[in-house]
Structure 1
Amino acid sequence: MWTKHHKERKIGRFILPAITIAFVSYFGYHCVHGDLGLIATEEFERQRLARTDELAKLSAKREALERQVQLMSDGSLEKDMLDEIARYQLNVSRRDEITIFNSYF
């Protein structure tokens, strides 16, 4: 009969749990702090909202400019629009006029 007497090591019981804890810790850390983790996702969402607001402002500005171009290139050029733009660009007004400047040009 073959018998083998050896002393059972207590450290052997902790190897698999230690490796498991190391893997879980590694992946857990990168799930929160990694390039695509929770913190980065929140930053991406903040940037998306800021850029959505900026896009809305730029779209409104573009629509206003398109309306002005349409009024000027319609074939039937409105004299009021031409007069308004010329006075704004040349900084000219009559003595009996009150000038209010809007910054849409």
Structure 2
Amino acid sequence: MVTRARLKSILTGLALYTMAAAIVGYFGINAYTGKYGLNARQELDQEIIALTSELAQLKRERTRSEQRVSLLRSQKLDPDMLDERARFQLDYANPHDLVRMNPTN
């Protein structure tokens, strides 16, 4: 009887330690691979870098577009820009322009 009680207490302690280790392991794995874990943080940092560079490119493009639009404003109308836009939209060419046709296959 004494050995059975001792065996039961050892197995109970071993079961508790095993359950505690499993719980700690579960939370440890989730801390590394979970939705808000270390891997997710690295992926978010890479995405932040990519989106930041895309934002900088879009800001440069917007600045160029705003500059072109400002040349078409009525306060300071640039005749060359107006002529370019009119020819582009109407598909016209000046008789003094050199036009090169690209053959399409």
Interval containing the TM-score (normalised by the shorter chain): 0.7 to 0.9
How many residues end up aligned between the 2 structures? 96
Structure 1 residues 81, 48: CA separation in 2 closer, same or farther (over 3 Å shift)? same
| Residue number in structure 2 paired with 1:71 | 71
What are the within-5 Å matches in structure 2 for residues 1-105 of structure 1?
A: 6-7=2-3, 8-9=6-7, 10-73=10-73, 75-98=75-98
Normalising by structure 1, we get a TM-score of 0.75
Higher relative contact order (CA 8 A, sep 6+): 1
In structure 1, runs of 5+ residues without a counterpart are 100-105
* Structure 1: 4+ residue segments shifted above 6 A: none
TM-score scaled to structure 2, two decimals?
A: 0.75
Identity score, percent: 33
- Per-residue CA deviations over 1:10-55 (Å, capped at 9, x if unaligned) read 3133133212211211111101221101222222222222211221
* Structure with greater helix percent: 2
